[in-house]
Structure 1
Amino acid sequence: MEHNSSFSPHQFQPEPTMHWKVLTPFSPGTEVGWIPAHIRDPNLTFEVIPSDYDHDRSRRLSGLREWIDYARHAIRAWFKKPSGSDAPIGYLTSFPQLPICLALIKRVTFSNVPIVAWCFNLGSTYGGVKGVLARFASKAIDIFVVHSTAEIEIYSKWLRLPRDKFIYVPLSVAMKPLPAVSQAADRFVLALGTANRDYDGLVKALTPLGYRTIIIAGPKAMQNLDLPAFVEHKSGLPLEECHKLSRAADLIVISLKDVEAASGQVSFLETMMFGRPVIVTRAPGTVDYIEDGKTGMLVEPGDVEGLRSAIAKLWNDEDLRLRLGNAARTSVENSSTFKAVAPKMRQVLNSFAEG
């Protein structure tokens, strides 16, 4: 029996069953990056709708100018025809503002297109007209991906939505190799980040110790602080310089103010991935990532004496710093990288695909 020599293996390649438009405020180009770059699934295709604005992730609240930028981005995405795909469309977003803008469009157009809100982290909930609009829009969001288990309860109550619309997935970072470290002139403690930081408490904890300290933060986080001579404030550093200082520091402190909100994760994950020991305030955004005494140290909120004791303990124990730092890097590599969380994103997105 003769076989058809015109057979092509491509004719049995499955057609995509879902085409996802990807909207993030940190994607100015059309190249698929972020977590979708690590998904290899013939059922799923991705198209990035580029951002054309600056996104300040340290800003606690978005102003009118920022909301206009997010709304423009959402409108462009909504009305842009997919490139080369006839598959059903969905929207995959990062940060809360974009899915809220898309959801408002979805509600007023009576659409049923799915919206997956990845990295839905508000920092704090709010009332008034903004709260009413958020609840109105959020009913059109199909899945909320949050990065602390506590946020499931917080947001489901605030938005008055079922808990099963929220799932916890660890926040992810782009894993980087360990850079070469030049020998620092002096040992130092590093603290970094702007949003929700308790630098007043940190300075009080450090003052009796006198350890050289570098704080990398925006000016608004340092307002009304009288810094002692051993504390140096740096602002506006490029990310590469922040990473260099993170790798060179003896230890990193992320001291938080409002423990009702999830914050600080990016800062401590990006230092843990360089194998540095961290001291972090116990809060909703930290307890899912730091195992006290194993991958870092947790201190109680507002406990200046406890923070001082933890800093002194790590400063004076090289073996402990090495053990916690190595465990921290392993923890990030195993659970908090784009590659590590890609299977969970694939599972979420495939739940909307037509079989």
Structure 2
Amino acid sequence: MNHFQDGTKDPTKVRVLFVAWFLREDRRWLGAFLPPERFECSYVGLEEAVDSTRKRTPWKKWWQFFRLALKARRELARHPQDLIVTAFPQVGFTVGLVNLLTFVRTPHVIWYFNCGHEYRGLRKWLSRLAYRGVDRCLVYTRHERSVYARVFALPKSRFQFTHLTGAELKAEDFRGAREDFALAPRYIAALGSSGRDYGTLLRAVEGLSLQLVIVAHPHALPPGPVPPNVKVLTSIPQQDYLRIIAEAELVAIPVNNRETASGQMTLIQAMALGVPVVATRCIGTEDYIRHGANGWFVEMGDVEEWRRTLRSILDDPEERQRLATEALRFARERFTDRTGARVLAALAEELSTPPAIFYNQTHSSTATPESDAEHSKDRRI
């Protein structure tokens, strides 16, 4: 850390503490893209793996998250920070609760704030308590701002929309899925588990000449047998998941979730790998797909429309190439962690106390005068 000779902190730098179970020496997440002349970054992660395959968070996983929150609290005690950035609602919950109980007032931002479904009962009550001290939650659809404000009894200004971001992907780095998994020369890929509607998709591909490859956890699949042209894979590493996307003719994202958002991660990965996407028109896809330009929408639960759309695109190689090219361009502009770091830089300089001297240089690119006024009315409730 940069200090002057008298031991005081360099006032030109904002200290940011990242807290996420996946942080490693070689994975600094958004911190890798923050300019070092403006920011000092610290990291708290877990050494052991965290199981992300369950539909509900098991107690073992909650215990891991609370240990992570306690590690972050010890780090804050040793090295005060200007901003805490946590990943996903569960870690934001545990860190928020620990900070509340130990009277920490460091500004807190939750990244990847997507709950999958509305909380109810005791979980909703505890979440409302834990999130009271959170300054901003980054959500990935505009609709979720109103949903979460209502569910967690917080001002809408606490929830900020930005496109979901991830590591920059290059299609040439993800090859060999056909051979390794004995896939057909041409196939459709359908991946992910949250809020999926594989029952509709399975009916839509019956009799289709191409293979459908589903990569999902068992709980996401409907009961009963699958058509003969369908291959199901479960519990594969992330690298293989991306390889299956990269070699697909197109990616199908069927969703049955009217409460919150589902499907964005698979969607941005497919676009970033230059693969055309057909998706259910829903909360999780409407802010990402431009119908007929960088992807294609199908109405929720419409088997016949799924069948017609898949056949139309699969039979038109020029249309697939056009969609793929535009999807790749769109992804490179909006879906990388480098873009996410610019959003975080503006937030850090807005929320840090006192405000960083660079605030005015970056804030204008990610906020509007209306949102400035909205945020300034409410830092805490």
Length-normalised TM-score, structure 1: 0.90
1:251-292 superposed Cα distances (whole Å, 9 cap, x missing partner): 110111223221111112111111110111111111111111
The CA distance in 2 between the partners of 1:82 and 1:111, in whole Å, is: 9
Partner of 1:64: 59
Q: Displaced runs of 4+ in structure 1, greater than 6 A?
A: none
Aligned-partner SS, 2:138: strand
Aligned-partner SS, 2:113: coil
CA 1:81 to 1:221, structure 2 compared with 1: closer, same or farther past 3 Å? closer
The CA distance in 2 between the partners of 1:115 and 1:183, in whole Å, is: 40
2:82 is equivalent to residue 125 of structure 1: no
2:198 is equivalent to residue 202 of structure 1: no
The CA distance in 1 between the partners of 2:117 and 2:89, in whole Å, is: 11
The CA distance in 1 between the partners of 2:76 and 2:158, in whole Å, is: 28
Contact 1:58 1:195 in 2 (8 A): no
2:22 is equivalent to residue 23 of structure 1: no
2:11 is equivalent to residue 51 of structure 1: no
Query: 5+ unaligned residues in a row in structure 1: which ranges?
Result: 1-9
The CA distance in 2 between the partners of 1:183 and 1:97, in whole Å, is: 33
Q: 1:93 aligns with which of 71, 82, 86?
A: 86
CA 1:56 to 1:280, structure 2 compared with 1: closer, same or farther past 3 Å? farther
Query: 5+ unaligned residues in a row in structure 2: which ranges?
Result: 179-183, 356-381
1:184-230 superposed Cα distances (whole Å, 9 cap, x missing partner): 65211111112221111101011132421111112222251311111
Contact 2:18 2:86 in 1 (8 A): yes
Amino acid at match of 1:157: R
Aligned-partner SS, 2:308: helix
Amino acid at match of 1:114: P
The CA distance in 2 between the partners of 1:252 and 1:178, in whole Å, is: 14
Written as runs of structure 1 = structure 2, the 5 A alignment for 1:30-41 is 30-31=25-26, 33-41=28-36
Aligned-partner SS, 1:227: coil
Contact 2:294 2:330 in 1 (8 A): yes
The CA distance in 1 between the partners of 2:177 and 2:301, in whole Å, is: 34
Partner of 1:144: 137
Partner of 1:112: 105
Contact 2:208 2:229 in 1 (8 A): no
Contact 1:261 1:283 in 2 (8 A): no
Structure 1 stretch displaced more, 317-326 or 202-211: 202-211
Aligned Cα root-mean-square deviation (Å):
2.2
Aligned-partner SS, 2:259: coil
Identity over aligned pairs, percent = 26
CA 1:211 to 1:300, structure 2 compared with 1: closer, same or farther past 3 Å? same
Structure 1 stretch displaced more, 104-113 or 270-279: 104-113
The CA distance in 2 between the partners of 1:68 and 1:331, in whole Å, is: 39
Partner of 1:259: 258
Contact 2:145 2:159 in 1 (8 A): yes
Contact 1:148 1:288 in 2 (8 A): yes
Work out the number of aligned pairs and report it: 342
Amino acid at match of 2:266: S
Partner of 1:155: 148
Amino acid at match of 2:105: N
Amino acid at match of 1:160: A
Amino acid at match of 1:155: Y
Length-normalised TM-score, structure 2: 0.84
2:72 is equivalent to residue 77 of structure 1: yes
The CA distance in 2 between the partners of 1:218 and 1:138, in whole Å, is: 29
